[in-house]
């Protein structure tokens, strides 16, 4: 079944707390699927990470543990109680053990989980694919592909018999398939669960053992007849030949068809997201604090210097730096943010769009249109490259955010469609090869600097595009190159904490200081080998 990125699934979202969408939000979604797999009765969890992957070194500092445990408890990614996950998981009586050893993982963000209660043992392997997106690739030894965008009913059987055909004849489903591993089950993907009456009929059959219901974890659902009007820039330009739509309108066309929702609903969904972003920035400007943190609130000092006319002049640019910084500080203090396209790069796009819109006294509708324009650029990146720093370095996060923001800024200034694409191309060209080397495993530094760089690079590239600078390389080809460059970056420089600034003497001292503080604040109740 072919699928396509959604602006609201893959690009701008989820609404969340935590330092990293690929760690916190994605792991929470995996945890919620685990919870459903054990009928909300998890007792013991054995977690395995591969030493060659990103999670071996980052699972605690970047919030994979927090998200995963929150998911086991049935929490949402934006819940205020997430930072108290250790106490909550202990109070729930869920025993956790984590081992770091070879598991043959081929993806750097691989979770191998064994889940136990008094009645059963289930196994699940999943990967975080970037920006909060996931794929469950194995359940009980059977190969699957679950992104969390269907209602999934798993009918466990002794023998399959004629059950597949029976289900297909009883209900309209998107996919019905037998999966065989240590157990046999029939996976049913649909826009709703198998009805209770049908489940009861199945359970009365000798071949059927039990039934599991896995809820969707994404906001926009998929379907078997899913289609989109375009999936590359070239296809979009061809589609637009007889329409003359602006980039934001093309985004609405795409998402409306992708999500099977009205154009009005697409616009209002983005309006709600813009409001959350605006609220986050306002919160950041008041000053933030959090115990487990490297940097204090930098944006307050910046705002004071800006208001005192002590900075190099550039009102719009400085407004963008201020807003980008404020957003990043909210993220670092476990406030609510929107991954755009990731939590680690959540500052650049809203900082640029809302900062410029505020400086120019533009309406919220204009911000919404700009964010939609950014979203469709993100769709092309998600479809043909990646947002995961573990796969593509910071180029995949801040680089993507910069390209998306550049296109959005051109829209704010009423530039043409071709100028928007040129701006995105130049911004991405300027970001190729950017590494991910977070200090002390916290998504703060150099993440703050790079988000500011991404936002200001977006402004520069937007202005160049508005002046008809020749970007030379079409955006499709830049995205293709971005994927190849990401594949060439050593894994030590892709969000592992094993290279770059992360292994400097000062970074290691900061890491030791934070570890000592953490020991004093809480106890570790699980074993890490």
* In the chain, where the domains are located: 7-214
Helix or strand or coil: residue 325? helix
Pairing assessment for the beta strands 142-146 and 184-190 based on DSSP bridges: unpaired
Q: What is the distance, to the nearest Å, from the Cα of residue 230 to the centroid of all Cα atoms in its chain?
A: 22
Dihedral angle of Cα 245, 247, 249, 250, to the nearest 10 degrees: 90
Contact present, 254 and 230 (Cβ < 8 Å):
yes
CA geometry: angle 93, 99, 104, nearest 5 deg? 130
Reading the block at residue 376, the tokens are 């469709």
Low-confidence ranges of the chain (pLDDT < 50): 523-529
Residue whose C-alpha is closest to residue 34's, from 118, 99, 115, 92 = 115
Dihedral angle of Cα 73, 75, 81, 87, to the nearest 10 degrees: 10
Pairing assessment for the beta strands 151-157 and 142-146 based on DSSP bridges: unpaired
Reading the block at residue 77, the tokens are 């990614």
Q: What is the distance, to the nearest Å, from the Cα of residue 433 to the centroid of all Cα atoms in its chain?
A: 20
Query: So what's the pLDDT on residue 246?
Result: 98
Concatenated DSSP letters of 378-410: HHHHHHHS-S-HHHH-GGGTHHHHHHHHHHHHH
Euclidean distance between CA atoms 402 and 430, whole angstroms: 9
Query: So what's the pLDDT on residue 524?
Result: 43
Task: Give the DSSP H or E segment for 270.
Answer: helix 263-285
Helix or strand or coil: residue 133? strand
Reading the block at residue 504, the tokens are 């400097």
Euclidean distance between CA atoms 491 and 494, whole angstroms: 5
CATH number of 7-214: 3.30.1330.90
From residue 469, give the alpha-carbon distance in Å to each of 176, 307, 420.
52, 34, 12
Query: So what's the pLDDT on residue 527?
Result: 41
> Helices 26-37 and 64-72, interaxial angle, to 10°?
30
From residue 8, give the alpha-carbon distance in Å to each of 15, 214, 231, 404.
10, 21, 16, 14
Contact present, 108 and 494 (Cβ < 8 Å):
yes
Pairing assessment for the beta strands 95-100 and 527-528 based on DSSP bridges: parallel
Q: Which residue has the tokens 């969000």?
A: 495
Helix or strand or coil: residue 349? helix
Residue whose C-alpha is closest to residue 437's, from 484, 503, 506, 511 = 503
Rg, C-alpha atoms of the chain: 23
Q: Do you find a cis peptide bond into 14, omega within 30 degrees of 0?
A: yes
Euclidean distance between CA atoms 377 and 383, whole angstroms: 10
């Amino acid at each position: 079944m072919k699928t396509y990125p959604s602006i609201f699934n893959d690009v701008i979202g989820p609404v969340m707390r935590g330092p990293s969408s690929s760690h916190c939000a994605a792991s929470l979604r995996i945890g919620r699927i685990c919870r459903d797999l054990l009928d909300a009765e998890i007792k013991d969890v054995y977690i395995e990470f591969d030493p060659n992957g990103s999670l071996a070194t980052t699972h605690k500092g970047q919030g994979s543990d927090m998200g995963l445990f929150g998911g086991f408890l049935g929490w949402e990614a934006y819940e205020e109680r997430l930072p108290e996950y250790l106490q909550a998981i202990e109070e729930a009586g869920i025993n956790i053990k984590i081992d770091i050893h070879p598991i043959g993982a081929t993806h750097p963000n691989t979770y191998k989980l064994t889940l136990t209660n008094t009645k059963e043992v289930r196994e699940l392997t999943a990967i975080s694919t970037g920006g909060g997106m996931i794929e469950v690739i194995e359940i009980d030894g059977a190969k699957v592909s679950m992104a969390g965008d269907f209602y999934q009913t798993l009918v466990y059987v002794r023998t399959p018999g004629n059950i597949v055909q029976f289900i297909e004849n009883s209900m309209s489903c998107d996919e019905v398939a037998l999966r065989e591993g240590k157990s046999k089950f029939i996976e049913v993907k649909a826009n709703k669960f198998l009805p209770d009456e049908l489940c009861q009929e199945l359970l009365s059959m000798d071949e059927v053992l039990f039934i599991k219901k896995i809820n969707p974890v994404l906001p926009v659902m998929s379907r078997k007849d899913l289609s989109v009007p375009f999936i590359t820039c070239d296809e979009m330009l061809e589609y637009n030949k007889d329409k003359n739509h602006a980039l934001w309108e093309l985004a609405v066309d795409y998402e409306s068809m992708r999500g099977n929702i009205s154009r009005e609903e697409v616009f209002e969904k983005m309006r709600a997201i813009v409001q959350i972003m605006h609220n986050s920035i306002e919160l950041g400007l008041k000053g933030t604090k959090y115990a487990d943190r490297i940097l204090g609130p930098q944006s307050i000092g910046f705002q004071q210097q800006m208001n005192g006319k002590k900075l190099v002049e550039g009102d719009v640019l400085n407004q963008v730096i201020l807003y980008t910084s404020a957003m990043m500080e909210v993220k670092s203090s476990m406030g609510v943010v929107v991954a755009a396209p990731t939590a680690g790069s959540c500052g650049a796009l809203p900082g640029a769009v809302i900062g410029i819109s505020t400086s120019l006294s533009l309406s919220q509708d204009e911000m919404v249109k700009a964010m939609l324009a950014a979203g469709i650029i993100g769709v092309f990146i998600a479809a043909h490259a990646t947002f995961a720093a573990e796969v593509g370095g910071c180029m995949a996060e801040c680089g993507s955010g910069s390209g998306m923001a550049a296109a959005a800024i051109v829209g704010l200034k009423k530039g043409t469609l071709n100028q928007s694409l040129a701006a995105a191309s130049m911004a991405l060209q300027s970001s190729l090869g950017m590494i991910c080397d977070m200090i002390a495993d916290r998504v703060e530094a150099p993440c703050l600097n790079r988000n500011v760089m991404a936002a200001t690079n977006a402004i520069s590239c937007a202005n160049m595009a508005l002046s008809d600078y020749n970007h030379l390389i079409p955006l499709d080809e830049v995205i293709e190159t971005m994927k190849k460059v990401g594949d060439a970056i050593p894994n030590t420089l892709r969000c592992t904490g094993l290279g770059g600034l992360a292994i400097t003497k000062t970074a290691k001292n900061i890491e030791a200081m934070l570890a000592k503080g953490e020991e004093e604040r809480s106890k570790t109740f699980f074993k890490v080998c």
